[in-house]
Amino acid sequence: MKTFNTNNDSDIFLAKWLEGELSDNELKNLVSEDDFSAYLKLRKGMDVSEKLDAPITDTFEKIQNKIEDRKQKVKPLYKNWSIGIAASIIALFGLFMFLDNDKVSIETGFGESRSIVLLDGSEVLLNSKSQITYNQDGWDKERTINLVGEAYFKVAKGEKFTVITDNGSVTVLGTQFNVNSTQDFFEVICYEGKVGVKTTEYDYVLLPADAVRKVNGYPSEVSKTSLNEPTWIDGESTFKSVPLRYVIIALEDQYNISFDTIDINDADVFTGSFPHNNLNIALKTVFETLNITYNEKENRNIKLGYKE
Amino acid sequence: MPKDNRNICHSKTFETIYNLYAKDIRRFLFFKTQNVDRAEDILQEVFIKLWDNCSKVDYDKVKSYTYTIANNMFLNEVKHQKVVQSFNKHNKKESTNESPEFILLEKEFMEKLQNTIARLPEKQREVFLLNRIEKKKYKEIAINLNISVKAVEKRMHQALVIMRKEIGNV
């Protein structure tokens, strides 16, 4: 701290203080308490009186600007409104577009099957690990469904009804049919009416009890079925001369398990069925007939092999 | 033409009224708020309001009208400040709107101060005004008056001592 308490400076310290060269605390040490507060008040009073006497023209300009700003704001406000309206219209349109494109997607998990009634009263039974997507809007004009997996369709009479899969499409007018499109396995069975099947190579027309199947790029083949409806609807998967690979996929989808097929020939053909509610019976019915052993190595992973 | 002179919505008249009363209203608002910036802000609001209501205000009553708005706006501000303060208290925040050694400047004090400045001895007053009003440094004043810096500081010191005596106990 500087000391101004010398005789030399005793007659100028207030000037120094007013100029800021001497701090308030330093002044406090030089004068009495009453004097100190009086000087503080004097300084403040001087500052304020200068400010109060300061010209008021600047303030008038500010007032004019504020009034002007407000006047001009009328237009921007309108602009903002129109932008807002435009934005909400766009947003609404966007929403409608979304609604327009309102794709319904229904998916089943392992071992789950679902029955879906479509807008026109058509029924879809979705087997496990399958998915359908369709466009809700304009359904009455265009009945198109995308399918991955297996589903049984009971189509109400009406416009063309199309099921699109990766392996081909199925077109009907009003009938009952089953479509199974699992990986590269594609099978359509007609239970009632007339079903048009279009694969990459051929077009087929299926009559009741007709089935068409295409496996892994082999030429598709037509066969007959004796059933009135797919058995999986009643909790049983039925196969007729199906390569074991697809039966295993069906088992996996149904029971949420995985198989180690390294030791077996999964191209063997299987004919038969397995229930959806009992894994042991399912494994027994599928693999015992083929002389294959099954051991649960880890949780939900079953190792397949041939009997010694 | 005389009609226009009395029409507050006429920008010339509005400006005249402003020049006539603005300083006094600012002063009036300062004694209420004890804050120059707040006084300035309210002053602007007062005249914006006057402009908004220019057609409704009688020219002869414009003075009392502006003072009334000024007072009302001050009271509104106080009300608002109270809300803010109680909000801050509620949120347990330190309110720092006033410095701890707050000095109240009464109207009487300010009048006394101005009289005292006016009645300072010529030499002291000259230095005081050059420093306070013209914002000149002691060094510049010394050159201007052709005296030493020390002499300037002495006069300034004396000016303050005289003022302190004149003001009396505060």
CB B127 within 8 A of CB B134: no
Residues in chain A: 308
CA torsion angle B150 B153 B155 B158 (round to 10): -120
The angle that helices A57-100 and B36-52 make with each other, rounded to 10 degrees, is: 70
- pLDDT band of residue A99 (cuts 50, 70, 90) is low
Looking at residue A120, the DSSP 8-state letter turns out to be T
Partners of residue A21 in chain B, C-beta under 8 Å: none
Cα A62 to the center of its chain, rounded Å: 54
CB contact under 8 A, B170 and A41: yes
Minimum distance, in Å, between the CA of residue B90 and any CA atom of chain A: 32
Distance, in Å, from the CA atom of B153 to the CA atom of A181, rounded to the nearest integer, reads: 103
Range of lowest pLDDT (A39-48, A97-106, B154-163): A97-106
Compare CB distances from A11 to B101, B157, B164 and report the shortest one's residue.
B157
Please tell me if residue B170 touches chain A, with a CB cutoff of 8 Å.
yes
Q: What is the pLDDT of residues A186-235, one digit of tens each?
A: 888 888 888 888 887 778 888 888 888 887 767 677 787 777 778 887 88
Model confidence at A166: pLDDT above 80:
yes
Minimum distance, in Å, between the CA of residue B143 and any CA atom of chain A: 17
Radius of gyration of chain B (CA): 22
Please tell me if residue B156 touches chain A, with a CB cutoff of 8 Å.
yes
Please tell me if residue A51 touches chain B, with a CB cutoff of 8 Å.
yes
Please tell me if residue A278 touches chain B, with a CB cutoff of 8 Å.
no
Residue A198 amino acid letter: K
CB A252 within 8 A of CB A261: no
* Residue B161: per-residue pLDDT: 93
Model confidence at A75: pLDDT above 60:
no
Please tell me if residue A33 touches chain B, with a CB cutoff of 8 Å.
no
Mean pLDDT for the stretch of residues A230-249? 83
Q: Which helix (H) or strand (E) holds A52?
A: helix A33-53
Looking at residue A135, the DSSP 8-state letter turns out to be E
Distance, in Å, from the CA atom of B103 to the CA atom of A20, rounded to the nearest integer, reads: 19
Partners of residue A42 in chain B, C-beta under 8 Å: 113, 160, 163-164, 167
Partners of residue B114 in chain A, C-beta under 8 Å: 49
* Residue B1: per-residue pLDDT: 45
Ramachandran angles phi, psi of A209, nearest 5°: 75, 0
